[in-house]
Structure 1
Amino acid sequence: MSDNLPDDWSPADNPYAIAVSEANWLRATVALAVQRMHGDDSQVGWFSSRQIDARTLVVALRQLLAAVKLEQIALADLSMDPAVGEALAQAQQRFEAALPDIKHVRDGLTHFEDWARGEGKFGPQAAARKAGNAPRDVARDFWSFGYDPAADTVTMGPFTIPVSAALPAASELCAAIYSAARAVDQRSTAEIRSWTVQALTSAAIPCDPPQGPVLVSPGNDTRIWVSFNLSTVPESGRTELAAKVAAAVAGAGLRLTSQSFPEAEDMAERLVVGEALRVERI
């Protein structure tokens, strides 16, 4: 954990952002694996580096769907507009259409203890046994993982992944996860701005740009900033106004933070000297 995180930080506070982080790591893993598979092969002991990277590629591609799952759970918990989740679901469908066998290839690879015996608990092996095939025959029909450089495919038994489709599909899905998370940030930003303006207005502090003495940013950077319009606030009245602003914001369950001086305790003083302060939920 980063030393910059507060002691009470938890990934459970913002799972939608964790999904973005993991998706970006996975997309980078896919890019690296494909680059190495398309490069020169080398031996790692008895093993081909391309075959090793093929295994990494398969797991990374499948884990992207886990990032989608986490993002969808977070969207539901936050009661986001259903259209946001639907757009992400459509991106997932395109990903799965580009790589239709990814689940089976990953399952055969990571559940080899079952697939090697024809005892896969779900999916094609279970269906084959139900149809009357002996486990030994099922194991043979769904075995043999490998990367074919000539065809540029990864296979597990009858299932195939076209390597050329891996990075474009991963990139699009990663971008869709980010877009969903950005929608969360944009809604949060709009809420914080509304609460800030309401708190200042209730305290009789004008904050209508461009003439108001206090400026509240539009939130285009998904952050809300409060600052003084120094051209309209006489120096003699800045200390009193800053104290009123800080009190009004705190009364709304928000806080002002300094990006330039994060250790500063007196936010009113930072306003007086002309710094733009970020507004955050407590």
Structure 2
Amino acid sequence: MTNPAVDWSPADHPEAIAVSEIQWWERAAELALLRMHDSDDHRISWFSSRQIDARQLILALRQLLAAVPLVDGRLQELGLDQALNALRQAKQEYERALPGLTEVRNALMHFEAWALGAGHGPQKRCVAGGAPAREVASKFWGFAYDPAIETISLGPYTISVDAVAGAVARLADAVYAAARTVDRRNAVDLGADAKNALRAEGVSTDEVPSFPRLIVRSDNRLWLSLILDGHDEEAEHRALADRVVRALHAANIRLICPELPNERDVAGPLARGGALFCKRAPR
């Protein structure tokens, strides 16, 4: 049995998911910071709301890093080495600005293991080196936010809260820039496939007066329009548009009219001089 094609899947564009998710977690970190700098919320009994928000901040900060591999993988696949190096450098700078972030997050997330000295990473290395698990548990414990000096600490790790906003903004910008690089490369590759499909059907992309024009715009989408000869009849414009649509459809390339995204007769707007953007159709 053949599975039906779906119009969209997050697996198609992991770089877009990376941008979306990092923006959510960036805002989560921003909200936690704002709350940490307020007075304790007295609707919470017996516990400091700022300590709670500090924990949430750590989780949000570590989640930002989870977006990086999604873009990193696409950059590797496409051979975009310069953008890949820039992204990895941004990740390293983020981790240097927030030392011990992953370990602090792990201690919070896996407290059932870290409380016993049975955590992975530094705890496991200490135990393997002969340290008693009870001693190791004590060494990597004691999460606290100190509003007087603006630090979050756990065991040997200390993170400056003042460094958070800048580090988050720089990493988010780096992920966004990397994703745009991927988008542009995808659009360029799509343009090459579209040209080949049109030429295979005898539709020239290089001659005037009537020919398809393909261009990657600043939005990193591939746009197609027809350069129409004013002397041609409307029927000739429509015939050319129909040929273009058929050729691209055969190559699994779909044309989308931005004003009428659900329009099925895309040859009509194309024949009237409209610009449509291209996307790969699900196979």
TM-score normalised according to structure 1 size: 0.87
* Aligned positions of 1:39-188 closer than 5 A: 39-43=38-42, 44-76=44-76, 78-123=77-122, 125-188=123-186
Instruction: Note if contact 1:148-1:154 (Cα within 8 Å) is conserved in structure 2.
Output: yes
Distance in 1, Cα, partners of 2:202 & 2:126:
74
Q: Does 1:261 align with 2:256?
A: no
Alignment correspondent of 1:22: 21
Q: Given residue 178 of structure 2, which amino acid in structure 1 is its aligned partner?
A: A
Q: Give the CA deviation at 1:74.
A: 3.4
Unaligned runs of 5+ in 2: none
Q: Give the CA deviation at 1:189.
A: 0.8
Q: Secondary structure at the match of 2:149?
A: coil
Distance in 2, Cα, partners of 1:114 & 1:251:
56
Query: In the superposition, relative to structure 1, how do residues 272 and 48 fare at CA in structure 2: closer, same or farther (>3 Å)?
Result: same
Q: Deviations over 1:146-187 (max 9, x none)?
A: 100001001112211111111211111111111111111101
Q: Deviations over 1:6-43 (max 9, x none)?
A: 95532222222212211111111111111211122223
Distance in 2, Cα, partners of 1:111 & 1:61:
17
Query: In the superposition, relative to structure 1, how do residues 37 and 229 fare at CA in structure 2: closer, same or farther (>3 Å)?
Result: same
Of 192-201 and 169-178, more deviation after overlay is shown by 192-201
Distance in 1, Cα, partners of 2:89 & 2:49:
34
Q: Give the CA deviation at 1:212.
A: 4.7
Q: Given residue 52 of structure 1, which amino acid in structure 2 is its aligned partner?
A: I
Instruction: Note if contact 1:193-1:219 (Cα within 8 Å) is conserved in structure 2.
Output: no
Q: Give the CA deviation at 1:135.
A: 2.3
Q: Given residue 48 of structure 1, which amino acid in structure 2 is its aligned partner?
A: S
Alignment correspondent of 1:3: none
Query: In the superposition, relative to structure 1, how do residues 264 and 46 fare at CA in structure 2: closer, same or farther (>3 Å)?
Result: same
Instruction: Note if contact 1:209-1:215 (Cα within 8 Å) is conserved in structure 2.
Output: no
Distance in 1, Cα, partners of 2:70 & 2:190:
25
Of 64-73 and 54-63, more deviation after overlay is shown by 64-73
Q: Give the CA deviation at 1:230.
A: 4.5
Q: Give the CA deviation at 1:233.
A: 5.5
Distance in 1, Cα, partners of 2:179 & 2:98:
24
Query: In the superposition, relative to structure 1, how do residues 196 and 134 fare at CA in structure 2: closer, same or farther (>3 Å)?
Result: closer
TM-score normalised according to structure 2 size: 0.87
Q: Does 1:217 align with 2:215?
A: yes
Q: Secondary structure at the match of 1:47?
A: coil
Alignment correspondent of 2:8: 9
Percent of aligned pairs sharing the same letter: 41
Query: In the superposition, relative to structure 1, how do residues 225 and 70 fare at CA in structure 2: closer, same or farther (>3 Å)?
Result: closer
Alignment correspondent of 2:227: 229
Q: Give the CA deviation at 1:113.
A: 0.8
Q: Give the CA deviation at 1:87.
A: 1.5
